[in-house]
Chains A and B, each alone.
Chain A
């Protein structure tokens, strides 16, 4: 079995679609599996408690936001608790992908420069572990929804689709961060600040319709916005996302992923050398 051609200076191989699939490490499935298994084992070693700790932090944040925005600011969104949970928990997943993705490259730099390894396997494994952890918290949201008598419609079946889009975007951002790290070692600080701002540009605490028309453009420019707005409207009112939301979310994901793919492919060897 001949391995795919390696290291051709900076020339791209001709089959781009095949190469995009390579970002998911088809030749190193066992490696990714191994890494994810290790991550999960570490987390769940103490069985349920391990999971609880990673759930409690975002859940507490969500609760605080709920009290402040619903009861103090008196925002008029129905079933605000599930609305918020379905925004904060996926947002936390995104943050984990970014942080753990970059960390995995930095802490394993010795590994990466001494043995040939598809370096994107590491952030991929981190993102997969994060999405698995997130999946365990979905039943909790469902239970909260049931308790609050939120309409559980067929819309709930669409949530995995939007989560899949979110996963693709999060993985893309993790790769872009990895490349950014080559050039700016203190990127982490800039990213922290940007992420905090981005949080408010994403419809997590509010509905898109509530944003005054003059600002709404900014929200639409955010590739994550329609993913979150779709998910939280399903979770709070059971409304099925509109075709525009579908198209925007899908198109934005494709664009982000393509940019990440080309940027990463171009710079991936530099990442190894600069770690």
Chain B
């Protein structure tokens, strides 16, 4: 029985916001003085409902679904950025997430310095990052541009840097959120090869994608979301059909 890496139990996530947002001390105090104790119209957006999920070591899970259905939120909950409104999340192992382009980069620092910053954010110490530094830089193929401030990077360069860091820092769990859309053909191929390598070395990978080809290529398990719920969780080939049926 392989190790359980990620577990979600009855996880629900909703965001609330009030229409007459009294997030202003001045408004609240004025409201009191005018004896206006009106209830703020609260709107709740349910993003995930009662989700139960178990992911074991070595699995390569593809997550698919329409835009806005909760896939990114799921990854954010797994990586610890958001906390579930209900339910519990258990994660056993360090996560290297690649959730958004340029996430975790400080604009004014160079690519080189950002490698250290990003590594530090993910909880690695200087030595570990130093050990992998050469591999990371070599993989990006950015050459001298690594010394440029990140604010001047194109989206393709950002994804090269971000992916390289996540792929080389040796975290047991990798989360990729639609990141392979950007990047030129050469890099895409490099990426796919590297992902293959990581998968073969036993990493647990969760990939959110809109590309059935990518899912077919790698994933042994496919989860399809619709209406904030899982409508399919099983082997890839039927998963792709389920995804296409959603449209």
Contacts and interface: CB of A to CB of B under 8 A. Distances in A.
Nearest to B77: A7
A116 B81 contact: yes
B231 interface: no
A45 interface: no
A186 B106 CA distance: 26
Contact of A5 (B24, B26, B28, B90): B90
Interface in B120-164: 120-126, 129
Interface string A1-43: 1110111111100000000000000011111011000000000
A190 B116 contact: no
B202 interface: no
A272 interface: yes
Interface string B172-196: 0000000000000000000000000
A34 B117 contact: yes
Interface residues of A, number: 36
Contacts of B65: none
A183 interface: yes
B79 interface: yes
B25 A190 contact: yes
Nearest to A183: B23
Interface stretch (B51-59, B95-103, B213-221, B236-244): B95-103
B93 interface: yes
Given A9-B85, A9-B86, A31-B121, A2 B92 contact: yes
Interface in A158-211: 183-187, 189-190
B83 interface: yes
A9 B26 contact: no
Contacts of B119: 30
Interface residues of B, number: 43
A148 interface: no
B168 interface: no
A186 B26 contact: yes
B24 A185 contact: yes
Contacts of A110: 103
A113 interface: yes
B198 interface: no
A269 interface: yes
B125 A114 contact: no
Contacts of A3: 91-95, 123
A116 B95 contact: yes
A113 B120 contact: no
Nearest to B104: A115
A269 B92 contact: no
A6 B123 contact: no
Interface in B32-89: 76-77, 79-89
B15 interface: yes
A2 B123 CA distance: 12
A9 B83 contact: yes
Interface string A104-145: 000000111111110000000000000000000000000000
A245 to B, nearest CB: 35
Nearest to B27: A186
A213 interface: no
A114 B99 contact: yes
A55 B226 CA distance: 59
A5 B85 contact: no
B91 A114 contact: no
Interface in A69-128: 110-117
Contacts of B88: 7-9, 11
B80 A116 contact: yes
A114 B100 contact: yes
A1 B81 contact: no
Contacts of B83: 7, 9-10, 269
A113 B91 CA distance: 19
B196 to A, nearest CB: 25
A71 B83 CA distance: 58
A228 to B, nearest CB: 28
Contacts of A5: 90-91
The 5 closest A-B pairs by CB, nearest first: A114-B103, A269-B83, A31-B120, A115-B104, A116-B80
Given A31-B120, A115-B121, A184-B24, 10 more contacts: A7-B77, A7-B83, A7-B84, A9-B83, A10-B83, A33-B120, A115-B79, A115-B97, A116-B121, A184-B25
Interface of A: 1-3, 5-11, 27-31, 33-34, 110-117, 183-187, 189-190, 269, 272-274
12 contacts: A1-B94, A3-B123, A7-B80, A8-B88, A9-B88, A30-B126, A115-B99, A116-B95, A117-B121, A186-B26, A269-B82, A273-B82
Interface of B: 15, 23-26, 28, 76-77, 79-95, 97, 99-100, 103-104, 106, 116-126, 129
